Amino acid sequence: MSKLRKRSLLVLAGVTALLVSGVTAASAAPAGHRAEPTLEVLASGLNNPRHLVVDRGKVWVAEAGVGGDLQCIITPEGEQCLGRSGAIVKVGRDGSVRRIIEGLPSLGAPLDGSYATGPADLALSRGKLDVLMSTSGIDPVTGANPFGDNGPEMGRLLRFDRNGAGDMRMGPDFGLYEGVHNPDDGIGAPPGFEIESNPYGMTPYRGGYAVVDAGGNDLLWVDRFGRVHTLAVFPAKDVDGRKLQSAPTAVEVGPDGALYVAELSMAPGTARVYRVVPGQEPEVYADGFTVLTDLAFDRRGRLLALSMTRTGAIFPPQQGEIVRIERDGSKTSFTPEGLISPTGIAVEGNTVYVSNQGVSPGLGEIVKLRLP
């Protein structure tokens, strides 16, 4: 897709020891169905919840917020306004909701803050809480953040104490890295949008973090010193005469130690999951998906791919889908009632947790389910 369409979604819209020798890449064949699981709502009333992590039954969620009135910018999608409504939410086993960190920048539609951009992903490590901030509207030449003192955190990796106390530490600026390096050379971008950055997903990796940049179409590594390195660039593809860019949205470390990356791709059936081994070209592990927003591995090492919509349409919010890639390479599709515009997925034990209604202010949920 063009970067205009990709930004429209993300702006208006965020290692085990198992052996995998028996796992093969899945084809684009239609996924099979089984009895649909039932969703249990654990928490509600969230504002644009995105990726999440689970720690001993407690769910930590990046809440993109609802924008605000600090500063407005004009994007290809129209006016977008910045505020400090982004947050990191901790959901207890009993469904209690506590905002551990509040006042993070959030860019949203001026009327209702829907499809906001702000906190997109997070990780817990050694008593620290790291937060990945998505962004929009970077300088098309330098990649610089346009928000100044109103939102210097946008497009960066942030570090907090796990309980939210203490000072925030700002890590690398992914827009500036894009402005200097532009790893994908802007291939497939419309004129004027060759420099684009929107960091959207991350996972702990080699003492730092693997980060996917949905605007830059690349996989990056932030090492333990905060330096950014390019691990892979994802190619554009031709679909019905249109150039579609990858727009990677999620990355996970697989049971084999490789990195698995989901791409957005709003044309039905054109989204892929890549397997990446640093130093080698990315290879397509599975394809035939639509609007992928997150990935997770279950306790048996099978990949779960989360789709925001099965049709490619994102307005209004649509029925979502979880696709499990079985060990023989086949796919099993789950579309439980009430799974609407999901944006994040995580697994602990036999329980799957999902950020549901992920692009709707005040309607966001954390739901849990068990897959047969």
First-to-last CA distance in the chain? Answer: 34
Q: What are the pLDDT digits (tens) for 214-245? A: 999 999 999 999 999 999 999 999 888 888 89
Longest distance between any two alpha carbons in the chain, whole Å = 53
Alpha carbon 43 to chain centroid, angstroms: 20
pLDDT score recorded for residue 30 = 54
pLDDT score recorded for residue 205 = 97
Give 1's pLDDT tier (boundaries 50, 70, 90).
Answer: very low
Architecture label for domain 3-17+57-301: 6 Propeller (2.120)
- Cβ(222)–Cβ(230) below 8 Å: no
Ramachandran angles phi, psi of 133, nearest 5° = -100, 120
Please tell me what DSSP assigns to residue 4.
H
Polymer length in residues for the chain: 372
- Cβ(209)–Cβ(224) below 8 Å: no
- Cβ(93)–Cβ(142) below 8 Å: no
Q: Is the pLDDT assigned to residue 93 strictly greater than 80? A: yes
- Cβ(263)–Cβ(228) below 8 Å: no
Question: Higher-confidence residue: 7 or 343?
Answer: 343
Question: Higher-confidence residue: 154 or 188?
Answer: 154
Taking CB atoms within 8 Å and a gap of at least 24, the contacts of 180-185 are 180/143, 181/230, 182/216, 183/216, 183/217, 183/218, 183/230, 183/233, 184/216, 184/217, 184/218, 184/233, 184/234, 184/245
pLDDT score recorded for residue 76 = 63
- DSSP secondary structure string for all residues of 344-356: EEEEETTEEEEEE
Q: Is the pLDDT assigned to residue 26 strictly greater than 80? A: no
- Percentage of residues in the chain with pLDDT exceeding 90? 77
- Please name the helix (run of DSSP H) or strand (run of DSSP E) that holds residue 178, with its range, or none: helix 174-181
- Percentage of residues in the chain with pLDDT exceeding 70? 90
Q: Is the pLDDT assigned to residue 18 strictly greater than 50? A: no
- What is the Cα–Cα distance from 120 to 155, expressed in whole angstroms? 10
Question: Mean pLDDT for the chain?
Answer: 90
pLDDT score recorded for residue 77 = 67
pLDDT score recorded for residue 141 = 95
pLDDT score recorded for residue 165 = 78
Stretch 78-99: mean pLDDT, rounded? 95
Read off the pTM: 0.91
> 201: how many CB neighbours lie within 10 A of its CB?
29
Residues 6+ apart with CB under 8 A from 191: none
Q: What are the pLDDT digits (tens) for 318-354? A: 999 999 999 999 999 999 999 999 999 999 999 999 9
Q: Is the pLDDT assigned to residue 161 strictly greater than 80? A: yes
| Closest among 221, 328, 239 to 290, alpha carbons compared | 239
Stretch 167-184: mean pLDDT, rounded? 97
Domain-by-domain residue ranges, the chain?
3-17+57-301
Stretch 14-41: mean pLDDT, rounded? 53
| Closest among 198, 213, 44, 205 to 117, alpha carbons compared | 198
Q: What are the pLDDT digits (tens) for 250-300? A: 999 999 999 999 999 888 999 999 999 999 999 999 999 999 999 999 999
Question: Higher-confidence residue: 360 or 119?
Answer: 119
Please tell me what DSSP assigns to residue 340.
B
pLDDT score recorded for residue 34 = 66
pLDDT score recorded for residue 101 = 97
pLDDT score recorded for residue 8 = 39
Ramachandran angles phi, psi of 7, nearest 5° = -70, -30
Stretch 293-316: mean pLDDT, rounded? 94
Q: Is the pLDDT assigned to residue 154 strictly greater than 80? A: yes
- What is the Cα–Cα distance from 111 to 104, expressed in whole angstroms? 19
pLDDT score recorded for residue 74 = 83
pLDDT score recorded for residue 315 = 81
Q: Is the pLDDT assigned to residue 6 strictly greater than 60? A: no
- What is the Cα–Cα distance from 13 to 7, expressed in whole angstroms? 9
- Cβ(310)–Cβ(335) below 8 Å: yes
